[in-house]
Amino acid sequence: MSNSNPHPPFNPSDARMADRLAGRRILVTGAASGIGRAIAELFLRAGAQVLALDRHRPADLAGATSQWRACEADITEPPAVERAVQLAVQHFGGLDGVVNAAGVANTDWADEVSLDDWKRVIDVNLTGTFNVCRAALPQLRAAGAGTIVNLSSGQGLQPFKQRSAYAASKAGVISFSKSIAMEWAPHVRVNTVCPGAVDTPMVRGGYTAEQLSAQVGPRYALERIAEAQEIALAALYLTSAESSFVTGITLAVDGGRSYH
């Protein structure tokens, strides 16, 4: 792996983020850490109002408290999701967009993964995404230009070994997103982002720093893993008016691993 990086991560502070999401009210799941946290923080800087949802209550976000609310909810429980949507309505007057970033991983072999673990991964990654999208739909339709960005994974495009449950759940997110993009148009745009390996607590929990540098990075054409803000920028584009004629796409943000 090269010691110098000709494509360093873009620093959003170098661009004018203000007003790219001005007036938009966005529900972000998985907002306590990792990609979800990075998305919530970037969206606030871009002028959005954000409901930050996670199974563990997200820590305070930077910015005026009138611009964000934290919500503790389990996306596998439809009543909890409905309450979260109503909280957004109560505080912000409605919803203009959703970003589903909540997810869990599993690295068991297919012949060894327990049924409970299989169900847990499917319930969070796929059914949880379904629960949030459906609960938010009336508000998104009422908004008139609603957006949904669902986080899948490079594993949903090109799986590895020991990823059967995770890859199946993330491939399901891709197909589900394409289906609702057709069903819910023209009032709601739906797109999917497929990250590669990202420097998050979940990824760090599965690899040592040496493994990330020597084994994981070389899988990518750009010879490194992503930073969470790089995925957040893709979600920002698909949530903003800049992507007004984009729906139903699956965007690989994976440094060139899949070439999809």
pLDDT tens digits for range 53-103: 999 989 888 766 789 999 999 999 999 999 999 999 999 999 999 999 999
The pLDDT score that the predictor gives to residue 137 is 98
Please list the residues that pair with 152 across neighbouring strands: none
pLDDT band (50, 70, 90) for residue 132: very high
According to the model, what pLDDT value does residue 158 have?
A: 92
pLDDT of 253 higher than 90: yes
The two counts, helices (H) then strands (E), for the chain are 8, 7
259 is a catalytic site residue: no
* Token output for 205: 């929990």
- Total number of residues shown for the chain: 260
The CATH architecture to which 14-253 belongs is 3-Layer(aba) Sandwich (3.40)
Would you say 200 and 151 are in contact if contact means Cβ atoms under 8 Å apart?
no
DSSP codes, 44-87: HHTT-EEEEEESSPPPPPSS-GGGEEEEE--TT-HHHHHHHHHH
Q: Say yes or no to pLDDT of 201 above 90.
A: no
Residue pair 75/29 in contact (Cβ under 8 Å)? The answer is yes
Q: What is the rounded CA–CA span in Å between residue 121 and residue 70?
A: 24
Active-site residue, from 166, 207, 220, 259 = 166
Does 1 have pLDDT greater than 70? no
Distance in angstroms (rounded) separating the CA atoms of residues 195 and 156:
10
Whether pLDDT at 225 is above 90: no
How far apart CA 29 and CA 54 sit, in angstroms, is 6
CA 123, distance to chain mean position in Å, is: 16
User: What is the predicted pLDDT for the residue at 200?
Assistant: 81
pLDDT on residue 218: 85
pLDDT band at 139 (very low <50, low <70, confident <90, very high): very high
pTM metric for this prediction: 0.92
